Amino acid sequence: MELTVTQENLARALGATSRVASSRTQLPILSNILLRTDDHRLMVAATNLEIATTHHIGAKIISEGAITVPARLITEFVSSLPKTAVTLKVSDNKLHITADGYNSTINGILADEFPELPTINDKTAVSYAIDTSLLKQAIGQTILTASNDATRPVLTGVYWHSHNGSLYLAATDGYRLSEKKLVPTKSDVSAIIPTSTLQEVLRILNEDINEVEVLFDESQVRFRLSEAEITSRLIDGNFPDYRQLIPASSETVVTIARSDFAQVTKVAGLFARESGGSVTLTADAEKDQLSLHSIASELGENTSEATAEVSADGQVTLNSRYLTEALNVLDGDSVVFRFSGKLSPCVLSSTNGDGVDYQHIIMPLKS
């Protein structure tokens, strides 16, 4: 194999791909990156057997071929090179890299030993073309409520599913829940995508990519992002019937400016650190006011107030971090915050003319 590529393109592809290569593995080949010529382009690929990622970059191919080399070494080396043309040449399982006065040789492993990259049949897969900004927002709004508890694998991913003619994303860790209505669909989909896969997708998404193609088969999902592809196994199991946890109506409904709500929550959270983040929210219909009270037993206490539209008096205690994270991902200038008493789930949603497309549910703390 011999070819020439630009340093910028090669560094970008290696940087995105090397994160998937696993250094903690019994198989040394999985800590390597595969370099292979593919139809007048260079393919850069890595896999940890759960996720596989490939990037194609334009190249001047002199001779075809393939090799695998240590991911960390080649990524750091190429990123340190000047922005110029880089020549890659393979001989005797060694990769020779030449660029503007730099000459290096990296010992490789035969490409034949690299695991076969996963495939998805485009003709039978369920596919969606999703606007990049919409996908980025949807993943960001749901991934934060997924669980880290490996003993309950189905909760460690985001549940993509069809319901009443729309594709939804949902995630829960048992303490909070998020649901995002994404795009219309005529297909039936039920798939749990690992959060690690979605984090990789977020890292690669950029303003140059207008649309992302998402393909599902029975056990895998593939994200096509311009010249890059990320393919992942789905999590086996059935996601819980979460919709029964979302209250259809609430006794107390508070409509408040999102910036005001975020500010009083941030201040209250400073005093809530010693009490496990516990803040008590009190809605006052007569004063049209929402107040947050928090106590730091040895340091003092705080009450923060904000003007709001309040339908009825009510009080509930929440984790201030959960509340802050929810307000950070809600869009729109104002927020609808609704709850019923001290023990029922609290619901936060944005107000807009198109109806509610995102809901964030937080379970109260026992005050």
Structural domain contains residue 198: yes
Residues 285 and 325 placed together within one structural domain of the fold? yes
pLDDT, residue 117, reads: 95
Q: How far is it, in rounded angstroms, from Cα 192 to Cα 186?
A: 19
Q: Quick one: 83 and 135 in the same domain?
A: no
Same domain, 217 and 257: no
Same-domain pairing of 317 and 229? no
Same-domain check for residues 301 and 327: yes
Domain boundary among 179, 208, 241: 241
Residue 8 located in a structural domain: yes
Domain termination residue (choose one: 206, 241, 276): 241
Residue 121 resides in a domain: no
CA 200/CA 48 separation, integer angstroms: 13
Residue 357 structure tokens: 């497309």
Where among 203, 219, 241 does a domain terminate? 241
Per-residue pLDDT of the chain (367 residues; tens, 9 = 90+): 999 999 999 999 999 999 999 777 778 899 999 999 998 899 999 999 999 999 999 999 999 999 999 999 999 999 999 999 999 999 999 999 999 989 999 999 999 999 999 999 999 999 999 999 999 999 999 999 999 999 999 999 999 999 999 999 999 999 999 999 999 999 999 999 999 999 999 999 887 889 999 999 999 999 999 889 999 999 999 999 999 999 999 999 999 999 999 999 999 988 887 777 899 999 999 999 999 999 876 778 889 999 999 999 999 999 999 999 999 999 889 999 999 999 999 999 986 656 679 999 999 998 6
Rounded Cα distance, 115 and 233, in Å: 15
Alpha helices in 45-157 (DSSP H): 71-79, 132-143
Sign of CA dihedral 22, 28, 33, 38: negative
- The per-residue pLDDT for 26 is 77
DSSP secondary structure code for residue 360 in this structure: E
| DSSP one-letter string for 40-56 | SEEEEEEE-SSEEEEEE
Specify if 57 maps to a domain.
Answer: yes
User: Can you give the pLDDT at residue 71?
Assistant: 96
Q: Are residues 273 and 201 in the same domain?
A: no
Give the model's pLDDT for residue 23: 73
Residue pair 192/237 in contact by the 8 Å Cβ criterion:
yes
pLDDT for residue 251:
96
Q: Residue 103: which CATH number?
A: 3.10.150.10
Query: Are residues 7 and 109 part of one domain?
Result: yes
Residue 119 belongs to some domain of the structure: no
Q: Which domain holds residue 40?
A: 2-113
As given in the structure block, the two tokens for residue 180 are: 């995002």
Clarify whether residues 66 and 82 are in a common domain: yes
Amino acid at 327: L
My answer on whether 250 and 237 are in the same domain is no
Tell whether 367 is covered by a domain: no
140 in the same domain as 98: no
Q: How far apart are CA 365 and CA 175, in angstroms?
A: 9
For residue 118, being part of any structural domain is answered with no
pLDDT at 356: 76
pLDDT digits (tens, 9 = 90+) for 44-83: 999 999 999 999 999 999 999 999 999 999 999 999 999 9
Per the structure, how many domains does the chain have? 3
User: What integer pLDDT is reported at residue 353 of this predicted model?
Assistant: 55
Residues 38 and 83 in one domain: yes
Tell me, yes or no, whether 144 and 198 share the same domain.
Answer: yes
Q: Quick check: 46 and 230 in contact, CB under 8 A? A: no
Asked if residue 265 belongs to a domain, the reply is yes
Retrieve residue 144's tokens.
């934060």
pLDDT digits (tens, 9 = 90+) for 186-238: 999 999 999 999 999 999 988 788 999 999 999 999 999 988 999 999 999 99
